[in-house]
Amino acid sequence: MTKFSVIVNIFFLLLYNLKELKGQDTLYYNNNNQVVDIGKYARYHIDSQDSISLSQIQLLPDGAFQKSKTEIMNFGNTIASIDLKLIVKNLTTEQLYLSFENNELQYIEVMTIDESGNQLLQQGGIFNTFSNKYFQRGNTILKIGTKPIQIFMKVKTHSSFYLPINLSSLPSLMNQNYKLDVFKGITFGIMLAMCLYNLFIFFLVRDRLYLYYCIYVLAGIWTYSHLNGLWYFTWSDYPFLNRFLGIQLFALSAALFSFRFLNTKEVTPRLYKIMNVMIILIVISIPVEYLDIQPLTNNFLQFYVSLCAVVLFSAGVSAYYQGNKSAKYFILAWMFFLAGTIITLLIFTGWLPYNFWTFNASLIGACFENLFLSFALANKINIYREETAKAQLLALQRLEDNERLIIEQNKILEEKVLDRTNELETSLNVLKTTQAQLIQSEKLASLGELTAGIAHEIQNPLNFVNNFSELSVDIVNDLKDEMSKPQKDNEYIEELFTDLSSNQQKINHHGKRASSIVKGMLEHSREKTADKELIDINKLVDEYIRLSYHGLRAKDKSFNADIKLELEESIVKINAIPQDLGRVLLNLFNNAFYAVKDKKNNKNDAGYQPTVTVSTEINNDEVMIRIKDNGTGMPENVRDKVFQPFFTTKPTGSGTGLGLSISYDIITKDHGGKLEVESTLGVCTIFIIKLPLHNHK
C-alpha cells in the first residue's frame, strides 16, 4: 500500500468519526417494533419567564440547550416552560408518533420540520379540547411523519414536571397501548369488583364501614384514572375537575374509612385529633388547588398527601398494638400503597429506571391496598363471628346455669306454693264460713226488722180477736139470761144470735189476717229456693213497705213518715221468687226510711216531712219499681260503690254492708233484671228495680 492510499484511508476514517460525533444527538429509528425513549437524544432549554414562542425555539443557538443525561427528563416542581429540540431520522417506511406518557402535562406545542422544510404545528395536553386530539386518549400522541425531521417542543405544566416521551411506529404504539389498557382494565376491574362485593355486604349487614370503603375505592378509581390518563371517561373537556376533586375526595374518604375501621376516637385519641387536622387540610386544599398558585399548590398537595399516608399508617400500627387483629391487613394495605408511591417518586428523581412496572407501581400499590383492605373487612367479619360464637357459648353456659337455678328455684317455689295453697284453702274456708255467717247475720237482721214489723202488724188483728171474743162472751151471757126467762123475747134473741155470728166472722177474718202475716214471716225466713212462681208485684210492695215501716216504728215510736204508693193496676203477674224479691224490697225500704229518719234527726227544719214514694209501671218489656226517698242522698264517689260487698255508709255496728250487694245479685243473677241507683246529695235517692216481662206466664 502506498503512502497516499494510507493517508486517504486515515482521512476517510477521521471524516467518518467526525460525522458520527456530529450526529450523536440524532435518533435513528430503524425497527418497526421499536419504542424509543427520547430523553438521551433530546436537548432542553428552561424558559423561566415563558417568553419564547415555539417558532423562536429553532432560532436559539445550540449553546442555549442542555443535553439530557437520563431517558426520563425530570424537572421537579419547575414552574417554567421547557423547550425541547430533537433530530430524528426514520430508516423505516412507517409513520412515526410521539407519545407523551405524563398524563398531567397541561400545554404541549410541537413543530415538526421535514427535510423539505415543511412545518407542521400541533397542540396537546390535558387542557386541549379532548375532541380535537389526534388520538382520543388521556395522554398526548402526535403524528410526526416519515421523513428525517427536526422536532421542536414547548411543554408547560404546574404539576410534577417529568417528561417520559417515546417515539414509535403505529404498530408498536398500538401494541404498547393495548398492553397498557389490558393492564389498567385488570387493575381497575379488581378494584371495582372489591367495591361491588363490599357494597353487597353493606346491603346485607347495614354497617356503614363497608359503605365508607366503597366510597374510598370509587374515589381511588377516579383519582388513578386521572393519573393514568383515563380522565376522558369523566368530564373529558373539563379535566381540572378531576384534578381538583379526585385527590381530595380520595384522601377524605381514606380518613373517614380509617376513623371507622380503626376506631381511632377510642383507641388512639391523639391520632384522632391529628386526623381531624388532616381533614381540615384536605378541605383547605380544594380552594388552594383551584387558585393554582405555584409552587404553593404542588408543595401543599405533596405535604398533606404525605401527612395522610404517614398518619393513617401510624394509626394502623397503633391500633394493631392496641389489640385490633384486623389492623395487620390495614398496615399491609398501606405498606403497598406507600411502596407504590415511593417507587413512583424514585422514578421521577432518577433513582430507579423507567419501565412498565415501575411507571405503574402506584396503580399496582393502590390495587393491592384495596385487596388487603377488603381482606381486613373480611377478617373483621371473621372476628365478629368468633366473638359472636364465644358470646353465644357464654350465653349458652349462662342459660344452662340459669336453667339449673330455675329448676332449683321452681322446686322451692312449688313447695312454697303448696304451703301457701294450703294456707289459702284454709283461709278460703274460713272466709266462706265468715261470709255465710255475715249473710246469715244480714238475713237475721232483716228478719229482726221484719219480726218487729210483724209484731206491730199482728197486734191489730189480735186486738180485734180479743175484743170480739169478749163481746161474744157478753152476748152469750145475755142470751143465757134471756133464754132462762119464762117470757122470751124472740126478736131480742134473734138479734143476739146475729151479733154473735157477726163477731165470729170478724174473729175469723182477723185470725186469718194474723195467719197470713205469720205465713209471710215463715216464707221470708225460709232458705233460698230456685222455684219461681207468679206473684203480684203491687201486693208484694204494699205488704213489705208496711212491714218495714212498722218495724222501724217499733224501734222508734217518735218516727213518722209519709208513704206514697203510685202502683199501676194493669201490671200483670210475673215469675219471681217471692221471698227473695221480698227480701230485696224490705232492704230497700229499710234504707229509704233510715235515710229520711237520719235527715230528720240532723236537719233543724220544722217544715221537713220524711217521705218515701214507691211506684210501679210497665216500660217496654220491663216492670219498673221506683223507691224514692227525700233523705240525705249520696255523693258520686259513694254512689259508685254502694253495690260492693261490705260497703256501708251507716255508722260502725249499724250494718254489715251486704244488704245491697245481696240484693244486686238477687235481681241481676236470679231474675235477669237490673238494679240501678240515682242520687243527689242532700236532695233524694232513687233505687230502680227493672224486671223483664218475658219471665211471666
Q: Is the predicted pLDDT of residue 93 greater than 80, yes or no? A: yes
Average pLDDT over residues 556-585: 86
**What per-residue confidence (pLDDT) applies to 460?**
65
Confirm if 485 and 447 have CB atoms less than 8 A apart: no
Task: Give the count of beta carbons closer than 10 Å to the beta carbon of residue 581.
Answer: 26
pLDDT value at position 389?
85
Q: Alpha carbon of 376 to those of 261, 313, 317: distances in Å?
A: 9, 14, 14
Alpha carbon distance 396, 555 (integer Å): 78
Torsion sign, CA atoms 495, 499, 501, 502 = positive
| 134: number of Cβ within 10 Å | 13
Residues 6 or more apart whose CB falls under 8 angstroms from that of 549 comprise 453, 561, 563, 589, 593
Q: What is the pLDDT of residue 23?
A: 41
pLDDT of 14 over the 70 cut: no
Q: Residue 118: is its pLDDT beyond 60? A: yes
Range in 29-33, 243-247, 524-528, 559-563 with the lowest mean pLDDT:
524-528
208: confidence class by pLDDT, cuts 50, 70, 90: confident
End-to-end CA gap in the chain: 169
Q: Which 3 state secondary structure label does DSSP give 234?
A: coil
Whether 35 contacts 168, CB under 8 Å? yes
Q: What are the pLDDT digits (tens) for 349-358?
A: 667 777 788 8
The pLDDT of residue 697 is above 70: no
Answer for the pair 593, 643: CB distance below 8 angstroms, yes or no. no
Which pLDDT does position 594 carry in this prediction? 87
What single DSSP character describes residue 670?
A: I
Range name among 250-259, 527-536, 612-621 with the lowest pLDDT average: 527-536
Question: What does the pLDDT read at residue 516?
Answer: 63
Question: Helix, strand or coil for residue 31?
Answer: coil
The pLDDT, as a whole number, for residue 350 is 64
Residue 517: per-residue pLDDT:
64
Give the pLDDT band (50/70/90) at residue 626.
very high
Q: Which of 137, 135, 140 is nearest to 106 (CA)?
A: 140
- How much is the pLDDT for 689? 92
Looking at residue 673, its amino acid is: G
Range from 52-56, 422-426, 499-503 carrying the lowest mean pLDDT: 499-503
Of 69-83, 371-385, 558-572, 582-596, the poorest mean pLDDT is in 69-83
pLDDT class for 291, splitting at 50, 70, 90?
low
427-479 confidence digits (pLDDT tens)? 778 777 766 666 666 555 555 555 655 565 666 677 767 776 777 777 777 77
Domain 22-178 and domain 530-695, same fold? Reply is no
Find the helix or strand (DSSP H, E) in which 54 lies.
helix 54-57
**Mean pLDDT, all residues of the chain:** 79
- What does the DSSP 8-state code read for residue 667? I
* pLDDT 10s digits, 295-330: 566 666 666 667 777 788 888 888 888 878 778 888
Please name the CATH architecture into which domain 530-695 falls. 2-Layer Sandwich (3.30)
Q: How far is CA 237 from CA 126, 129, 220, 246, in A?
A: 8, 6, 21, 16
Q: How confident is the model at residue 696 (pLDDT cuts 50, 70, 90)?
A: very low
Answer whether residue 554 shows pLDDT above 80.
no
pLDDT of residue 557: 80
pLDDT score of 193? 92
The residue behind cell 380544594 is 286
Question: In 10 A of CB 423, how many CB atoms?
Answer: 10
- Map out the domains of the chain as residue ranges: 22-178, 182-387, 530-695
pLDDT at 10: 43
Per-residue confidence at 13, pLDDT binned at 50, 70, 90? Answer: very low
Whether residue 324 contacts residue 380, with contact meaning beta carbons closer than 8 Å, is answered with no
Type of residue numbered 121:
L
Compute CA distances 105 → 57, 82, 167, whole Å: 19, 11, 17
Predicted local distance difference test score (pLDDT) of residue 445: 58
Q: DSSP letters of 608-638?
A: ---EEEEEEEEETTEEEEEEEE-S----HHH
- Does the pLDDT of residue 625 top 90, yes or no? yes
294 vs 326, residue with greater confidence:
326
What are 659's three cell numbers? 244488704
Percent of the chain at pLDDT > 90 equals 6
CA distance 354 to 362: 13
Q: What's residue 272's pLDDT?
A: 79
**Segment 148-200, tens digit of pLDDT:** 688 999 998 766 677 888 898 888 888 888 888 888 889 989 999 999 998 99
| Cβ neighbours, 10 Å, residue 1 | 6
* Domain 22-178 coded CATH 3.40.640.10: no
- The model's pLDDT over 600-612, given as tens digits with 9 standing for 90+, comes to 888 777 788 899 9
* pLDDT of res. 68: 82
Whole-angstrom Cα distance, residue 124 to residue 511? Answer: 142
Confidence bin at 9 (pLDDT 50/70/90): very low
Location of C-alpha cell 433530546: 42
- 120 forms beta bridges with 112
Cross-strand partners of 579: none
* pLDDT at 613 exceeding the cut of 90: yes
Instruction: Kindly give, in sequence order, each residue whose CB lies less than 8 Å from that of residue 245, ignoring residues fewer than 6 positions away.
Output: 286
Task: Give the angle subtended at the CA of 439 by the CAs of 434 and 441, to the nearest 5°.
Answer: 90
Question: How far is 360 from 343, CA to CA, in rounded Å?
Answer: 9
Separation CA 35–CA 344 (nearest Å): 21
